């Protein structure tokens, strides 16, 4: 997997404002689902249960892992493709797909090794749905084990 630094991650996250994210605590493994509502120079603003929190991103110290909850492009429907193709400018297609929560190839900088990789391929996305994540959080006694 290609490693990218926190400023490059912020660049990618900024393209997906409004999308759901899964936050995994590196201290206890607990997963929470929230909505990415903003970015700043060194942090993500995530809203969980109507409470907004800044999650710091630092190359040297991490307390949690944040991944976008995206859909693979193979889940595009013909209706979505037709709408995208009817947009007035072809350059609007990628932002349209991103707004709908689809995983798209990234561009960070000329010559960057992560260019043309999908967000999932660089370890910043999860293809699970929120309900699949919630099921994974259930204790084994409730999961029928």
How does pLDDT run across 61-74, given as a tens digit for each residue?
888 999 999 999 99
pTM of the predicted model as reported, rounded to 2 decimal places: 0.86
Position 137 scores a pLDDT of: 53
Position 29 scores a pLDDT of: 85
Domains and CATH numbers, the chain: 6-131 (2.30.30.100)
The DSSP secondary-structure symbol of 27 reads: T
What digits encode the pLDDT tens for the residues 64-100? 999 999 999 999 999 999 999 999 999 999 999 999 9
Position 139 scores a pLDDT of: 44
Report the chain (145 residues): mean pLDDT per 10 consecutive residues: 89 96 91 95 94 93 93 94 93 94 94 94 93 69 40
């Amino acid at each position: 997997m290609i490693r990218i630094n926190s400023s490059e991650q912020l660049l990618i996250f900024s393209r997906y404002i409004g999308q759901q994210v899964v936050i995994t605590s590196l201290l206890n493994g607990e997963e929470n689902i929230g909505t990415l509502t903003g970015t700043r120079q060194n942090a993500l603003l995530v809203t969980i249960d109507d409470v907004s929190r800044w999650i710091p991103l630092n190359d040297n110290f991490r307390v949690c892992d944040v991944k976008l909850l995206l859909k693979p492009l193979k889940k595009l429907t013909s209706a979505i493709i037709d709408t995208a193709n009817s947009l007035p400018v072809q350059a609007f297609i990628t932002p349209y797909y991103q707004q709908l929560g689809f995983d798209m190839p990234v561009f960070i900088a000329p010559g960057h090794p992560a260019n043309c990789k999908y967000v999932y391929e660089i370890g910043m996305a999860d293809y699970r749905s929120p309900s699949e994540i919630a099921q994974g959080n259930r204790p084994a006694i409730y999961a029928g084990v």
